[in-house]
Chains A and B, each alone.
Chain A
Amino acid sequence: MGRISRAIVHTGLFCHNIDDDLNTSEIVLPWADTTEVTSFAGRQGFVAPCEMHFISFAIRYEEIDTDHSLTLRIYSTDEGDEVADEEANMFKGPIEATTDDFTTFYFTEADMGDVTIPKGKNIRLSIQANTDPALSVTWYASSIWEFRLDPV
């Protein structure tokens, strides 16, 4: 009988928590610590060790001062260059100061579309508010990904 091979799927959950005064800058989230940046030049990326598929992203607020919307963007950077190519984006809003304190918002596959990053690319996640939402507070963020290991 021939050998039956199929991809093995693992799941990964990453913690992207930060303390920050977001303002309206695009904030690139960390994958392995709690240090965010406002450029695509830092260590705030995750190199895909196999094909990776986006499942969901959750972000929980603390106190909100101003109504705003929040955009999540997913980027990938090809092997051989350093340009972050946008794969998908979606905004949630309005997120309201009077009702949404300490609330969690979700970005799912249904929101972002089929985001599948090939092996070897560098993945970055960013968030950006259209109006400064709050002072410096903690932003609790997690993402879930599928890892599709090649058959060996």
Chain B
Amino acid sequence: MAISHPKKIPTVMFSHNFIHDLNAGEIKAFPWSTTTETGVSPGQSGSLVCPCDMTFRNLAFRTENMTVTGDVTISIGTLIEGTNNPASIVTLDSHQFEISTSHDYHTFHLDKNDLDATALKGELLWIWIDPDQDMGSSKDWFITSIWELAI
């Protein structure tokens, strides 16, 4: 009987931590190499150029002290080569979940079943959050993502 070993797919990990007072409808792209969140448009903090195809694997999202309850939507999107127009950014997938006052210092875990997204080589890549209401005062948001590389 053949023994099958799990296929070894190279994976990489990023820290996207930032501090911000997230208000209703205030869409913020996660930083890739700094702690500066941005809008969802081309720029040095919120965009990553994909050196190969990159498939989303996991994301951990940790809160601090929550004083309100609201829904947040996490999305992954890309921009093809040949344009720098933010209107051309395509949302690959989104996942909404509720953060309530009982979720102080809680870590939410998203995986490929929640966000089915592959960014192609050469594209710019974003991850962003869209809260449906004011999530309270300025807070630290702790975010880590894992991606599979097609190399």
Contacts and interface: CB of A to CB of B under 8 A. Distances in A.
Interface of A: 11-19, 30-34, 55-60, 62-63, 101-104, 106, 138, 140-144
A60 B42 CA distance: 11
Contacts of B10: 11
B12 A34 contact: no
Given A15-B32, A34-B33, A104-B81, A142 B44 contact: no
A34 B84 contact: no
Instruction: Name the residue among A101, A106, A138, A140 with the largest chain B CB count within 10 angstroms.
Output: A140
Nearest to A56: B51
Nearest to A20: B44
B151 A58 contact: no
A58 B51 contact: yes
A33 B33 CA distance: 5
Contacts of A106: 51
Given A33-B34, A60-B49, 4 more contacts: A15-B14, A19-B44, A34-B33, A138-B43
Contacts of B147: 13
A32 B151 contact: no
14 contacts: A12-B12, A32-B33, A58-B50, A58-B122, A59-B49, A60-B81, A101-B82, A102-B81, A104-B49, A106-B51, A138-B44, A140-B42, A140-B44, A144-B149
B110 interface: no
B19 interface: no
B82 A144 contact: no
A14 B51 CA distance: 10
Contacts of A104: 49, 81, 121-123
Interface in B2-26: 10-12, 14
Contact of A102 (B50, B51, B82): B82
A17 B149 contact: no
B49 A143 contact: no
B149 A141 contact: no
Interface residues on B, range: 20 to 34
Contact of B33 (A17, A58, A101, A102): A17
Interface string B110-151: 000000000001111000000000000000000000010101
A63 B84 contact: yes
A138 B49 CA distance: 11
B45 interface: yes
B60 interface: no
Q: Which 10 A-B pairs have the closest CB atoms?
A: A58-B51, A104-B122, A140-B49, A15-B33, A11-B10, A13-B12, A17-B44, A60-B49, A15-B32, A34-B44
A57 B151 CA distance: 12
A143 B34 CA distance: 16
B125 to A, nearest CB: 10
